[in-house]
Structure formats: C-alpha cells, structure tokens
Amino acid sequence: MSKKIRIFYWCFFATVLITCFNLERNRLHMKVDANVRQVKVTTASTLTASSAHMRTPIDWRKSSETVSYPDLSKVKNFWIKVSLKQNRTYLYDGNKLIYTMYSTGGMYKKNPQTGKLESMTPTGTFYAQAERGTSFFNSSLNEGANYYVSWKDHGVYLFHSVPTKAGGAYNVKEADKLGKSTGSHGCIRLSIPDAKWMSANLPVGTKIVIEN
C-alpha cells in the first residue's frame, strides 16, 4: 500500500471518528436541554398548584381554599408562618406549603421612639398555647370574635374569626378587610371556617413564625 493511500485512509477514519463524536455530543446536549425544560415545567406547575385552590373573591364566611383542610395526623412537621404585609397565614409540613389562609394582622402605628411604623402584632417565633374557645368579647375595645386559640401571653394574642359587635353580629366593615389590609389590635383574624378549624385542630406547642 502506497504512502498516499495510507494517508487517505487515516484521514477518512479520523473524519468518521470526529463526525461520530460530534453527533454524540449533540445528542447529549439535546438530552440535557430536554431535562432542563422538564424541570422548569415541573417547578412552574408546583408553584401554580400552591395557590390554585385559593377562593376568589375572598369571602370571610367561607374557607380560604376550595379544598379540604389538611389532616394533621398525616403531617410530620407542622408549623405556621404569618405574613402581616401579605395578609396571609401559611400552613407548612416542613418545607411544603399545605394550606393558605387569608388573614388580617395588627394595624401599623408609628413607634414614638424610632419614628417607624410597626405592627400591633408582635413579630418573631411563638408557640400555640392551650387557651381556646368558641367566643369572647373585649369590653374595652367593644369588640369580640368567635373560635379563638392563643399563641402569645395566654389569651392576649390570638388567632380568631373576623370581629363581632357587642350583640354578637359580625362587623362586616372590619370583616371585609380580611386578606386585603391590616386592621386588628394585635391578633390574627381569619375567616369563620378557618378560625373554627384552627381553634379545634391547632396542637399546643406548634411553632408559629410571624413576619412583616
């Protein structure tokens, strides 16, 4: 075999190898791109699902979501996060959001020492307490509520329903703030069914994180 023929064969084999390498590399890139697209789609659907069942428009007479409340007997790491500015109360199992409630926290007032607006609802980490019941009335505020459970100072700061008047009727003007704006004197207001579920089911000692 002449030298020119050997060179031709070597060039031919080299070309074939390079072509095969490029085809395999392109196939791998396509597979990676497909996986990335799949991950993005899954993430988007997960985020959408977390708010897909929220009841709209907000109705303080009904549950915040259109699905059943979580079965806490099947929840391993239950805790609650309250966002005062978002007017939402989030129920978690570890890092997984399992239910969202419309809520209303404390009004913002100017701190005379700092000059900054601060919520009348304390922020930080608290734990659910034993004090709970079907109704109460605060004569000093001329306001009450139904279905309450304490999370600070043993009956001072509560989860409870939208407020009631002296005669027991709901204060519609205040109730309509639910999920839209602040309005309480420090407690966390919930819809009537949400408050009833919370009062009946919130285990003593449950961690509650309240943030602005």
- The answer to whether residue 20 is catalytic is no
**Annotated domain spans of the chain:** 1-49, 72-211
Q: Taking the domain 72-211, which CATH number applies?
A: 2.40.440.10
Q: Tell me: the pLDDT tens digits for 135-174?
A: 999 999 999 999 999 999 999 999 999 999 999 999 999 9
Q: Tell me: the pLDDT tens digits for 110-131?
A: 989 999 999 999 999 999 999 9
- Taken as a whole, the chain contains a residue count of 212
Strand-pair category, 78-83 with 207-211: parallel
Q: Which residue among the candidates 20, 154, 160, 185 is catalytic per the annotation?
A: 160
- The answer to whether residue 187 is catalytic is yes
d(CA 33, CA 143): 59
Q: Which residue among the candidates 11, 53, 185, 187 is catalytic per the annotation?
A: 187
Number of Cβ within 10 Å of residue 126's Cβ equals: 19
